[in-house]
Amino acid sequence: MDTEALKQQFQQLYAEAVAHGLDPNDAVAQALTRMHEKSSVQEPATVHDHDMSDSGNQVQPPPAPMAPAPASVLTLAMLQSGSLSMSALQKIVYEVFSQSETLNAACFPNHSRAEIQEGLAWLVGQPSLANTLGNALNSWVTQPWTNSKKWTSTESLHQFFVMLEHPLLFDPDYRSIVGGMVKLMYYLTDDMKAALAAHWRSLGADDLHRLLDVFQQYITLSLVGAELKMDTIFAACDMIRLLVEINVDMPFASYDAFYNDAANTELNLLQDYVKSAIYLTHKHGRISSRELSDLSFCDFAFILDAASKSKILQFDAEYQQNVRVHDSIRSSLAEADQHVHPYLVLRVRREHVIEDALQQLVQVATSEQLKKPLKVKFIGEEGVDEGGVQKEFFQIITRQLLDPNFGMFIADDETRTLWFNCDSYESTTEFELIGVLLGLAIYNGVILELHFPSLVYKKLMGLPVTLHDLEASQPALGKGLRQLLAFDGDVESVFQRSFELSYEVFGQVKTIELVPGGKDMAVTAANRDEYVAKYVEYVTTTSVAQQYGAFHRGFHFVCGGHALELFRPEELELLICGSPELDFEALEEVAHYDDGFSAESPSIQYFWSVVHAFSLDEKKALLKFCTGSDRAPIRGLSNMVFVISRNGPDSDRLPTAHTCFNHLLLPEYATREKMKDRLELAITQAEGFGLL
């Protein structure tokens, strides 16, 4: 059939379709389909575009397509009509889904998301189309990734809007298609990525969760599979990064929903650290451009949980220490530094722990030295520090420094959390010492019994503090400010406040202006937002600038650096204070037994039977009785040393504990009932041996 005949046939079929009530897009599709069905096996002749004359009021079709005739438009109506033979449909499906151009222009154009989903569901429900659709999509995702840089209009994103609705994205057989798709998305220009994220912002929480699950599953299947393709794994991480940014403004998932279990269990963290920007900055002083496959999970820290990040922090500390030693040996001070001590050693008197520790720590010249493993020696006492003396040191010094009676901190009556005393008589050096101690505890894996509010960890990470944070730490004050903001009435006459703040110090009322001239500036409905903002700023920042500033300085002297930036405030709190997740089955698996006990001893079996039946509060009490803390190490109870020793035959004596060594001393109770009674009494009425 010649060109003119093709044109006439197309025009006739198009006009018939419009006459039957189809819209122009569907009319084009039906006309093309009928042309395909009527055509022979041979390829039709090429059709050249030219202008078509106007024929009065007759409906005029668009120009006939170039031959070989592409499917042009795939619509839901076309699929639902049932007018297409399977061979014709296979040809259309392949042509539409095999190229970005046809996916953008011809795959369910001007359809709603629901219609696109319905159309895709129809397609995947046809067994005869499975291979055709799979082959087409494989062709689509194997195009050169450089094509992504050429897509500069939002219309070019339609291909991704359609394919991200595909119901088989969770099918393991579609893994290569998902991988190819995320790589194409990764190489989009920044403007196009922003447009992609803008589209995602229009989705609901469930749809955003589905996207997150698609990318997470791809990463998981890729990491546990036989062939690692790090470029597409990191491309998927980058798509999750867009979702993390959306989650800040439009929360749809908790921060730990972005963790990837496979990355945290299967990954060689040391190898990942060596590829990271953190390491490269240390080694080369700068970061040159890196290929996608050369990135690191540290570049996508939201994927890593707090335990993984703590390992990376440790790797970073060890690397800095090694560099320091190496540089010292090569320097002119080589002779003096030949005997660099591998430990940070503190020698303190038990009665003067704060004074002695402070005097020695202020002499430490570099943060690298503070990252060394800590050894503590109590002067006049025997014993080698294998961890227990170090833990005892932290327990003594933090208990003294944080005691509200010491005057450095004030405890909130409701939450019992501690906040900096802005009127403390202690020098800033003591506050700096606390910051240093927090850093030392991190690098030595010691859990501290701290009661700081969450806003302390936000400030340590350089994040802004809000009224919500103040409400969590000082509920009564926060509630009053919130009521002021919500009041629907005459604020000035009812609240009768000015831009000043008053509080009592040693029986004297102290008044502070929140702004210059604040005592003469009434709080009104118009300025109450400013008043609350200034109030929060004063309480959380201005009033404690000296005290908190010293604390911040001490902490960052030890821990500051790019590795710390991997952490969220919540993760930093876990790192310092331990995890509230208590897996006592894991603790049983790693427990050691001494002085005649074994895992098969009846008393040990009674013990674990009783413990596993405890309530959560009872388990926390037992853990605190045995270790000095009711929290687990950041990597869980499976990473804790726990020893149970036989402490004599059956008797009425209560269990005791060396908390510094996580050591429980247990008489060989003859029955389970007696074990339960003695344990419950011990954990409710005693604290073990405490600092022994």
| β-strand pairing of 656-658 with 663-666 | antiparallel
Whether the bond into 516 is cis, omega within 30 of 0: no
Confirm whether 96 is domain-assigned.
Answer: no
Confirm whether 41 is domain-assigned.
Answer: yes
Crossing angle of helices 428-443 and 306-330, in 10° steps, is 100
Confirm whether 461 is domain-assigned.
Answer: no
Task: Give the model confidence (pLDDT) of 217-264 as tens digits.
Answer: 999 999 998 778 899 999 999 999 999 999 999 999 999 999 999 999
Among 576, 601, 628, which residue terminates a domain? 576
Looking at the fold, whether 572 and 590 belong to one and the same domain comes out as no
Looking at the fold, whether 557 and 481 belong to one and the same domain comes out as yes
Range of the domain at 648: 584-685
What's the burial of 644, exposed, middle or buried (CB within 10 Å: 0-12/13-18/19+)? buried
* Choice between 6 and 258, residue whose per-residue pLDDT is larger: 258
Looking at the fold, whether 625 and 670 belong to one and the same domain comes out as yes
Whichever domain contains 598, its CATH number is 3.30.2410.10
Tokens of 177: 């298609």
pLDDT at res. 250: 95
Among 576, 601, 624, which residue terminates a domain? 576
Confirm whether 160 is domain-assigned.
Answer: no
What is the spatial distance between Cα 599 and Cα 608, in angstroms, rounded to a whole number?
A: 10
Looking at the fold, whether 483 and 565 belong to one and the same domain comes out as yes
Measured CA to CA in angstroms, residue 492 lies from 410, 488, 503, 523 at distances of: 31, 11, 21, 6
Confirm whether 421 is domain-assigned.
Answer: yes
Task: Give the model confidence (pLDDT) of 141-197 as tens digits.
Answer: 999 999 999 999 999 999 999 999 999 999 999 999 999 999 999 999 999 999 999
Return the percentage of the chain with pLDDT > 90, whole number: 66
Residue 601 reports pLDDT greater than 80: yes
Looking at the fold, whether 511 and 558 belong to one and the same domain comes out as yes
Looking at the fold, whether 372 and 434 belong to one and the same domain comes out as yes
| Residue 660 designated active-site | yes
Among 576, 601, 632, which residue terminates a domain? 576
Confirm whether 141 is domain-assigned.
Answer: no
Contacts of 495 (CB under 8 A, 6+ apart): 484, 487, 523
| Active-site residue, selected from the candidate residues 298, 422, 626, 660 | 660
Cα 119–chain centre separation: 35
Contact predicate 406/528, CB 8 Å: no
Confirm whether 125 is domain-assigned.
Answer: no
Closest to 299 (Cα-Cα) out of 355, 256, 237, 239: 237
Looking at the fold, whether 287 and 370 belong to one and the same domain comes out as no
CB atoms within 10 A of CB 622: 23
What is the spatial distance between Cα 197 and Cα 208, in angstroms, rounded to a whole number?
A: 11
- HSE toward the beta carbon, residue 105, CA cutoff 13 A: 11
What is the spatial distance between Cα 560 and Cα 550, in angstroms, rounded to a whole number?
A: 14
Mean pLDDT along residues 302-306: 96
Q: Residue 510 — φ and ψ, nearest 5°?
A: -115, 130
Alpha helices in 250-352 (DSSP H): 261-266, 269-275, 277-284, 306-330, 334-337
pTM higher than the cut 0.95:
no
DSSP state letter for 544? T
Task: Kindly report which listed range (138-142, 183-187, 424-428, 650-654) carries the lowest average pLDDT score.
Answer: 424-428
Confirm whether 378 is domain-assigned.
Answer: yes
DSSP string for 17-68: HHHTT--HHHHHHHHHHHHHHHS-SSPPPP---------TTSPPPPPPPPSS
What is the spatial distance between Cα 34 and Cα 235, in angstroms, rounded to a whole number?
A: 42
Task: Give the model confidence (pLDDT) of 334-372 as tens digits.
Answer: 455 455 677 889 999 999 999 999 999 988 867 778 888
Buried b / exposed e over 140-172, threshold 16 CB at 10 Å, is bbeeebeebeebeeeebbbbbbbbbbbebbeee
Closest to 347 (Cα-Cα) out of 378, 370, 371: 378
- In the block, tokens 């045995």 appear at 626
Contact predicate 491/522, CB 8 Å: no
What is the spatial distance between Cα 625 and Cα 655, in angstroms, rounded to a whole number?
A: 10
pLDDT at res. 56: 39
Looking at the fold, whether 613 and 673 belong to one and the same domain comes out as yes
What is the spatial distance between Cα 59 and Cα 56, in angstroms, rounded to a whole number?
A: 8
| Domain total of the chain | 5
What is the spatial distance between Cα 6 and Cα 160, in angstroms, rounded to a whole number?
A: 34
Looking at the fold, whether 472 and 572 belong to one and the same domain comes out as yes
Looking at the fold, whether 556 and 652 belong to one and the same domain comes out as no
Looking at the fold, whether 472 and 560 belong to one and the same domain comes out as yes
Looking at the fold, whether 566 and 601 belong to one and the same domain comes out as no
Task: Give the model confidence (pLDDT) of 445-484 as tens digits.
Answer: 888 988 999 999 999 999 999 999 999 999 999 999 999 9
Alpha helices in 338-424 (DSSP H): 353-361, 367-370, 388-402
Whichever domain contains 382, its CATH number is 3.90.1750.10
Buried b / exposed e over 287-318, threshold 16 CB at 10 Å, is eeeeebeebbbbbbbbbbbbbbbbbbbbbbbe
